[in-house]
């Protein structure tokens, strides 16, 4: 299966994202600059700041992360970040100032900059991509852990001295981000409607299982999940989470399936319209058809769409923890159509295209066309030009 997959990949990547690749492919030698200090400057923010190392002064732009804007000079960026987190433009500015303050505190005293002196572009002063560490902690990880940055932007293309590969580092960042999302830390406290939280329902349910009783967890799944309880497929235990429904009434509901309308439940002795009204907003008779051109739409009908070319509308993209074949990175595509969430699916991207791929699909509602392909137990998308 692995060899078959690689053959398909090589075929469908004959025409890669040529127009999206970074203009600079030249990389220098890694330098570890110990004893750096922050230079006070109006350009300093959460992910970009001026530093001094010995007699040199330059601006560092952090690899891997993007903090929010601190003012409305670049409104296109502010709007993009507001869409990403589903927060207001005013909240973007506030969060950006919080990240700036956190970075300034982190950089007090001496710290280390690890860089290849790759031009980060922006302004007349020297500006390079880099990693910043202090007392064994990377600033980029700390910002994500505090919910003050999104995983976005330039990753490294090689392992830095004493560091991790880019996929391994991104995986750690993703774990920290999920923890911040679950605990509603920093920006995530306001970003409750963000598409970035779409995949957390199941993860949150697993966490609740460790903290609450089975009944409490069932209520969390049935009511707080983005999917309502489906009367025609729900288990007895799920039905019993509805107000006024015990084991006997749950069994009666299962017995009269298929149900064509919620009010049909009144045919069961002991279920009145008043009782139905108590849970009407929490149930559906049948699961609705997923929005077209979304992951859920195609995954719900693999018999029709597997091994065929499909197009999804991408609402956001993040690194995926799914193991990718050698030479590739995995990206998680979150899909939606006309404002309706449509689930997510993994896409495998060649290492050399990964950064430009992530940047391109940060813009909301761009489409992705690929082959819907089964790899081991996972269904993925393979890019097709």
Same fold, 13-194 and 295-383: yes
List the one residue out of 13, 80, 27 whose CA is nearest residue 369.
Answer: 13
CATH numeric code, 295-383? 2.40.50
pTM of the model: 0.49
CATH architecture, range 228-286: Orthogonal Bundle (1.10)
First CA to last CA across the chain, in angstroms?
A: 23
pLDDT of residue 38: 96
Between CA 13 and CA 18 the distance in angstroms is: 11
Between CA 12 and CA 9 the distance in angstroms is: 5
What would the two tokens of residue 313 be?
């509308």
Tens of each residue's pLDDT in the chain, 385 residues: 444 444 433 333 333 322 223 333 334 688 999 999 999 999 999 999 999 999 999 999 999 999 999 988 888 888 888 888 888 899 999 999 999 999 999 999 999 999 988 887 766 778 899 999 998 899 999 999 999 999 887 778 778 887 777 777 887 888 888 888 888 889 988 877 665 554 444 334 333 333 333 333 333 333 333 457 889 988 998 898 888 999 999 999 999 999 999 999 999 999 999 999 888 888 889 888 889 999 999 998 899 999 999 999 998 888 887 888 877 788 889 888 887 888 889 998 877 777 778 878 877 788 988 889 998 888 999 876 6
In angstroms, how far is CA 341 from the centroid of its own chain? 14
* Orientation of helix 166-182 relative to helix 200-211, angle to 10°: 60
- Fold category of 13-194 in CATH: OB fold (Dihydrolipoamide Acetyltransferase, E2P) (2.40.50)
List the one residue out of 236, 231, 280 whose CA is nearest residue 257.
Answer: 231
In angstroms, how far is CA 254 from the centroid of its own chain? 37
pLDDT of residue 190: 82
Between CA 194 and CA 341 the distance in angstroms is: 11
pLDDT of residue 385: 61
SS3 assignment, position 355:
helix
Q: Where are the alpha helices (DSSP H) in 306-375?
A: 354-360
Find all residues with CB under 8 Å of 30, minimum gap 6, and list them.
114, 115, 116, 158, 160, 161
Residue carrying structure tokens 């495998």: 348
Contact 319, 173 (CB under 8 A): yes
> Cα–Cα distances in Å, from 377 out to 271, 323, 350?
42, 12, 21
Between CA 84 and CA 73 the distance in angstroms is: 19
Task: Return the domain boundaries, the chain.
Answer: 13-194, 198-226, 228-286, 295-383
Give the angle 367-201-336 at the CA atoms, nearest 5°. 20
């Amino acid at each position: 299966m692995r060899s078959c997959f690689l053959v398909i990949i090589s075929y469908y990547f004959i025409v890669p994202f040529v127009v999206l690749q970074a203009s600079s492919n030249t990389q220098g030698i890694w330098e570890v600059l110990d004893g750096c200090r922050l230079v006070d400057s109006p350009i300093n923010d959460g992910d970009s700041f001026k530093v001094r190392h010995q007699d040199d002064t330059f601006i560092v732009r952090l690899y891997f992360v993007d903090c929010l804007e601190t003012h409305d000079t670049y409104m296109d960026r502010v709007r993009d970040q507001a869409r990403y987190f589903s927060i207001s433009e005013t909240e973007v500015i506030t969060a950006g100032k919080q990240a700036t303050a956190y970075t300034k505190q982190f950089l007090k005293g001496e710290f280390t900059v690890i860089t290849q002196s790759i031009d980060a572009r922006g302004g007349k002063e020297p500006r390079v991509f880099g990693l910043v560490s202090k007392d064994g902690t990377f600033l980029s990880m700390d910002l994500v852990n505090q919910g003050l940055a999104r995983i976005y932007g330039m990753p490294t293309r090689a392992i830095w001295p004493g560091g991790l590969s880019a996929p391994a580092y991104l995986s750690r960042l993703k774990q920290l981000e999920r923890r911040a999302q679950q605990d509603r830390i920093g920006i995530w406290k306001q970003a409750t409607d963000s598409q970035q939280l779409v995949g957390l329902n199941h993860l949150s349910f697993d966490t609740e299982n460790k903290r609450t009783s089975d009944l409490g967890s069932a209520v969390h799944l049935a009511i707080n999940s983005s999917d309502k309880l489906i009367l025609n497929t729900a288990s007895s235990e799920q039905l019993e989470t509805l107000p006024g429904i015990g084991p006997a009434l749950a069994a009666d509901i299962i017995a009269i399936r298929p149900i064509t309308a919620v009010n049909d439940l009144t045919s069961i002795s002991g279920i009145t319209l008043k009782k139905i009204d108590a849970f009407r907003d929490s149930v559906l008779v049948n699961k609705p058809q997923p929005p077209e051109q979304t992951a859920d739409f195609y995954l719900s009908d693999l018999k029709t769409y597997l091994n065929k070319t499909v197009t999804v509308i991408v609402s956001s993209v993040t690194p995926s923890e799914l193991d990718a074949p050698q030479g590739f990175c995995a990206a998680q595509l979150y899909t939606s159509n006309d404002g309706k969430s449509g689930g997510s699916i993994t896409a495998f991207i060649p290492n050399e295209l990964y950064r430009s791929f992530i940047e391109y699909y940060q813009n909301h509602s761009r489409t992705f066309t690929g082959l819907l392909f089964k790899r081991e137990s996972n269904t993925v998308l393979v890019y097709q030009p």
